[in-house]
Every structure is written in structure tokens, then in C-alpha cells.
Amino acid sequence: MVRSMTGFGRGVTTTDDFQLTVELRSVNHRFLEIHSKFPKEWNEIELIAKKQLSQNVSRGKLDINIHVKMVEQSSFNVQVNWSLIEAYKEVKEQLSHIVPIKDKWSMQEILSIENAILYEKNEIPTEQLLLAVEKALKEATDHLIQMREREGEQLKTFLLQYKDELLEQINVIRKNSPNAVEKYRLKLIERMQQITDSNVFDDRILAEVALFAERVDISEELDRLESHFKQLVDTLNEPNSIGRKLDFLMQEMFREINTIGSKNQSTECSAAVVQSKTILEKMREQVQNIE
């Protein structure tokens, strides 16, 4: 299956205490490279998340972002530091025997005592947090893959269209390649007639034309290109990651086209070679986006 390497996915896990959101973004890359922004105390969870993601994605540069929003009423645990207040009360009573102090306490007075009221931020248990990350990450990964597959189908359509256009140019080359030998034979005869009045040079011409025909023969290159076309179609229907294989096929096609261009330089073939290279470059640009 053809998958693009660009995409986005989001997954959300909601509990009574918090809401956790995972966002995935991916772009093109030769290999699999995962960047994440996890809190330092989540090292173990970060490793598990990267492993889970690498089991579903084989290529691309991915960024993982995690956001945790605590439910307001459970975000903090507020406690009274009774031992501190009792100690403060005893000191106040002792002072009241010497200094006239009102016995009535105010909330302002209590709050002014440092650490009299303790505010503790609730911590999410590691097991609960891991389950939430795995669930949200799975949802985000599913959405990411769906987006990559949708774009992959478009890339597949483009590649098959370019393949048909390229095949038309190859047919032009195949049709016109024999003309180069005939043109060379006629040109050779013309030159021989210019330097001698004798017509007894058929054997020489035939030998020279035979050598030339062997040098400009591109039948093997054309046959290999036909084989590459078949491999291209077969590869586009494979279920695994195919980007690197397609990249290799593009290199092989370029090599065959370059060889054809250097061997057969007839006007028709040269024009078709230039057009073929243009189409292949477009194909290679699309292949760079495939996982």
C-alpha cells in the first residue's frame, strides 16, 4: 500500500482527573526519526510511546507532542497544617500573658502564617498515565496513518499517470531507433562517393554499418525499461513500505534513459529522451514523499 510520509494525527484520553492529548506530525525523511516533548519524569513512558509508534510507522520524521489538562477540582489537594497552627496558638497564648492580644482569630491572620495551608498538586499514577498515553497515541497513530494512506493513493495515481506518459516516449524511441542506422549508412555512402569514383565499397560499408549498429543498439535498455515498468506497478500494490524500492527503480530508469541518450542520438530519439528525463524527474519528486 502506498503511504505518504506527511500527515497529522490527534488522540485524546479523558478520565475523571485529567484530559490527555497526543498530537503527531510527520514529514519526509530517509529513515525513521522520532522527536518527542515529554516531561523529564516521563522517561519510561516516552520510551514505550516511541516503541509503539515505530511498530506502525517505518519512515519519516515524526514529532510527538503531549498536553495534559487536569480537572479543576482535582488539580490540587488543600490541607491544613494543624501541627503548625497548634504551635502558633501556644505561642500566642504565652504572649497574651505579657502582651495584650485579642483571642479572636481572623482568616487573614491564619493565612499570614507561612505554610499553615498546604497546597499539593495531585500527581497522576504512572500506571494510569501510561494507559492514557497508549490509548491516545493509538488513536493519533490511526488518524496519522489514515491521512498518509489518503495522500498515498493520490501519489499512486500520479505515478501511474507519469508511467503511461513515459511509456509513450519509450515507444517513440523504440519506433525511431532503427532510423539511426539507416541514416548512418546513407551518410557513409555519400562520403565515400565524395572521395572516390569507385562503387566497389559495399563490403566496407556493410562492415562499418554493422559496427555502428552494434554501438547504437538499445534493445537491451528498452527491454530493461519494460521490466522496470512492470516492477513499478507490482511495487505500488505491495502492502509493505515501498519508498526505498521505488527510489531504487527511479535510479535504474534514469540510468537506462541516459544510456539510450548516449547511444542513439537521432533527432526523434533525442527529443524523446529529454522528455523522458523530465517525466522521470517528476516521478522521482513524488517518490520522495512515499514511506
pLDDT in tens, 136-157: 999 999 999 999 999 999 999 9
The pLDDT of residue 103:
65
The pLDDT of residue 46:
92
Residue 1 resides in a domain: no
Q: Are residues 87 and 190 in the same domain?
A: no
Q: Are residues 101 and 199 in the same domain?
A: no
Whether the pLDDT of residue 257 is over 70: the answer is: yes
Domain count, the chain: 3
Whether the pLDDT of residue 170 is over 80: the answer is: yes
Q: What percent of the chain has pLDDT over 70?
A: 80
Of 275 and 98, the structure prediction assigns the larger pLDDT to: 275
Q: Are residues 161 and 240 in the same domain?
A: yes
Q: Decide: 221 and 259 in contact? Cβ < 8 Å.
A: yes
The pLDDT of residue 224:
92
Domain range for 39:
7-72+126-148
Q: Are residues 56 and 140 in the same domain?
A: yes
Give me the count of residues in the chain: 291
The C-alpha atoms of residue 33 and residue 23 are separated, in whole angstroms, by: 16
Minimum mean pLDDT among 32-46, 78-92, 233-247: which range? 78-92
Encode 210-263 in three state secondary structure: HHHHHHCCCHHHHHHHHHHHHHHHHHHCCCCCCHHHHHHHHHHHHHHHHHHHHH
| CA quadruple 210, 211, 212, 216: dihedral sign | positive
Per-residue pLDDT tens for 206-232? Answer: 566 555 555 667 778 888 999 999 999
Distant-in-sequence, close-in-space partners of 222: CB < 8 Å, separation ≥ 6: 170, 173, 174, 177, 260
Residue 2 resides in a domain: no
The pLDDT of residue 216:
61
Whether the pLDDT of residue 131 is over 60: the answer is: yes
Report CA Rg, the chain. Answer: 38
Per-residue pLDDT tens for 187-208? Answer: 655 665 555 555 555 666 556 6
Residue 180 resides in a domain: yes
The C-alpha atoms of residue 208 and residue 202 are separated, in whole angstroms, by: 10
The pLDDT of residue 70:
78
Q: Are residues 58 and 141 in the same domain?
A: yes
60-70/32-37 β-pairing = parallel
Of 204 and 160, the structure prediction assigns the larger pLDDT to: 160
Q: Are residues 134 and 33 in the same domain?
A: yes
The C-alpha atoms of residue 280 and residue 191 are separated, in whole angstroms, by: 39
SS3 66: strand
Q: What is the mean pLDDT of residues 4-25?
A: 93
Looking at every residue in the chain, the average pLDDT score rounds to 84
The pLDDT of residue 279:
96
Q: Are residues 184 and 142 in the same domain?
A: no
Which residue reads 517513440 in cell numbers? 172
Of 268 and 257, the structure prediction assigns the larger pLDDT to: 257
Minimum mean pLDDT among 40-44, 153-157, 280-284: which range? 40-44
Residue 23 resides in a domain: yes
The C-alpha atoms of residue 261 and residue 263 are separated, in whole angstroms, by: 6
Beta bridge partners of 22: 11, 66
Which residue reads 501556644 in cell numbers? 90
The pLDDT of residue 79:
76
Q: Are residues 181 and 252 in the same domain?
A: yes
